[in-house]
Amino acid sequence: MIRKIFLPRIALPLVAAVLLVATQTPRRVAAGVAAAAAPVVVQANIGVNGFFSADKAQRGRIVQVAIVLDIPNGFHVNANKTAKFSIPTTVKIDAPTGLKISPVAYPRAVVRRLGFSKDALPLYEGRAVMRFNVTVPPNFETGLTELRAKVNYQSCNNEVCFPPTTREVKLGINVVGANEPVKRINGQFFGGRR
């Protein structure tokens, strides 16, 4: 005679898991237990955004640009000038022909000793603002133009570093005549150097 066993609904997944484990080889069971016991390390969700210092770019003038990394608490990225074995944070700009791009100015790094290194390392934490200037020639075509910034960085926590990441930021701005008024914007990124 077969008896029916009544289990609460919550117990059914547990019974299924036990039956699955019972049918596996000991090696596969050990691997599954080891994988379940290993801590899950989550990579940082780093915000990467770009900002202009003005709402429009005037012909014959300079407009500033900031690339901003917002790094969650408990994480960091390697600084631009870093240790030999670390991957530096870099920004490369692709711009339409005719625009002149200055070198990127990187922020000052904080120096910290981490759990995986006996040496202190230069890092960016919190918010890292990288700036550069765009010079618009007097004869540059008016209308919408677009820059592309490729930001390469490696994020880490105190114990482990994650694979390097490259993010692309598209920055569109309207180019206007030299006498057309422009408005300063995004002062939080251009007021004082960080």
- Residue range(s) defining the domain that contains residue 24: 8-38
In a domain, 57, yes or no: yes
> Does 190 fall in a domain?
no
If asked whether residues 153 and 100 sit together in one domain, one would say yes
Does residue 144 fall inside a structural domain?
A: yes
Residues 27 and 78 in one domain: no
pLDDT number for residue 10: 38
R_g of the chain, CA atoms, integer Å: 26
Return the closest-CA partner of residue 43 out of 140, 124, 135, 157.
Answer: 157
Q: Which tokens hold the place of 100?
A: 């002149």
- Cα gap 143→165, rounded to integer Å: 32
Number of domains, the chain: 2
* Residues 70 and 154 grouped into a single domain: yes
Can you give the pLDDT at residue 40?
A: 53
- Judge if 95 and 59 occupy the same domain: yes
Which stretches of the chain score pLDDT less than 50? Answer: 1-38, 193-194
Same domain, 51 and 21: no
pTM of the model: 0.75
Let me know whether 159 and 107 are in one domain.
Answer: yes
In a domain, 14, yes or no: yes
**Span 112-130, pLDDT tens digits:** 877 666 778 899 999 999 9
Spell out the residues 6+ positions from residue 3 whose beta carbon is closer than 8 angstroms to its own.
Answer: none
Under DSSP, the state recorded for 119 is S
Do 93 and 22 sit in the same domain of this protein? no
Residue 192 falls within a domain, yes or no? no
CA distance 27 to 34: 11
Same domain membership, residue 170 and residue 81: yes
Do 32 and 80 belong together in one domain? no
97 and 20 within one domain: no
Q: Write the CATH number for 155.
A: 2.60.40.1250
Q: Which tokens sit at 8? A: 């609460």
Q: Are residues 15 and 95 in the same domain?
A: no
DSSP 46-88: -EEEEEESBSEEETTSEEEEEEEEE--TT-EEE-SS--TTSPP
My answer on whether 56 and 114 are in the same domain is: yes
